[in-house]
Amino acid sequence: MGLDTAKAQRYIAFLRAINVGGHTVKMERLRSSFAALGFGAVETFIASGNVIFQAAATDVQALERQIEAHLRQALGYDVTTFIRTLSEVAAIAAYQPFPSDELAASGNTLYIAFLAAAPMAEVATKLQSLRNPIDDFHIHEREVYWLCRRALGESRFSGALLEKTLGMPATVRNVTTVKKLAAKYPPPA
């Protein structure tokens, strides 16, 4: 029996460790993996582990665990999964964590790190202690907004250091990717 799309919720999964660090996954294989779980309307957006899909389930944490277990078996390594609804992605894309002139300044790039849960206050303080003239951080709900004021290669900060500082997995996307996802997949009216 197929998925009843009229009752299904549309989600975007942000996957960690897809097409980085020697883990190469074709998008067709990724779409097939999600379809094998019974999800509908499966699409991928660029080759960095962004999967759009429909599911009848409303327990996002259970969906994340289900996808992680399936991908571990299918790909042979752990793929931490961070799911957001279309409304959440729209809100994340629209959120302004820094002044407009900072975001628009030449050479500055905003990155968004997706987390499973909001960091504890002491962890947030630890992250803020890493601020410097190149890197600045803002935490809002389950996302960390990272403003890099130079080319990424000039920053001493990285996704790995973010995870170590927070003590939890994260996956990072450029704000341009998140805004394109929000524009292509708007929340239902």
pLDDT over threshold 60, residue 9: yes
Query: For residue 29, what pLDDT is reported?
Result: 94
Average pLDDT over residues 69-78: 94
Query: For residue 6, what pLDDT is reported?
Result: 65
Average pLDDT over residues 36-48: 95
Report the half-sphere exposure of 81 (CA within 13 A, side-chain side): 23
Query: For residue 81, what pLDDT is reported?
Result: 97
Starting at the edge strand found earlier in the chain, the sheet holding 81-85 runs: 40-44, 50-55, 9-15, 81-85
Query: For residue 17, what pLDDT is reported?
Result: 86
Q: Which amino acid is at 25?
A: V
pLDDT over threshold 70, residue 5: no
Query: For residue 156, what pLDDT is reported?
Result: 86
d(CA 120, CA 109): 26
pLDDT tens-place string over residues 178-189: 999 999 999 988
d(CA 9, CA 73): 25
Cα 18-182-10 angle, rounded to 5 deg: 75
pLDDT tens-place string over residues 15-33: 998 888 777 889 999 999 9
Q: Mean of the per-residue pLDDT values for the chain? A: 93
Average pLDDT over residues 118-123: 94
> Domain 90-184 in CATH: superfamily?
bacterial protein sp0830 like (3.30.70.1260)
pLDDT over threshold 90, residue 152: no
Query: For residue 2, what pLDDT is reported?
Result: 60
Average pLDDT over residues 157-173: 94
The class (CATH top level) of 9-79 is alpha beta
Domain boundaries, the chain: 9-79, 90-184
Residue predicted with more confidence, 22 or 57? 57
pTM equals 0.93
Domains 9-79 and 90-184 share a fold: yes
Answer whether 79's CB lies under 8 Å from 17's CB.
yes
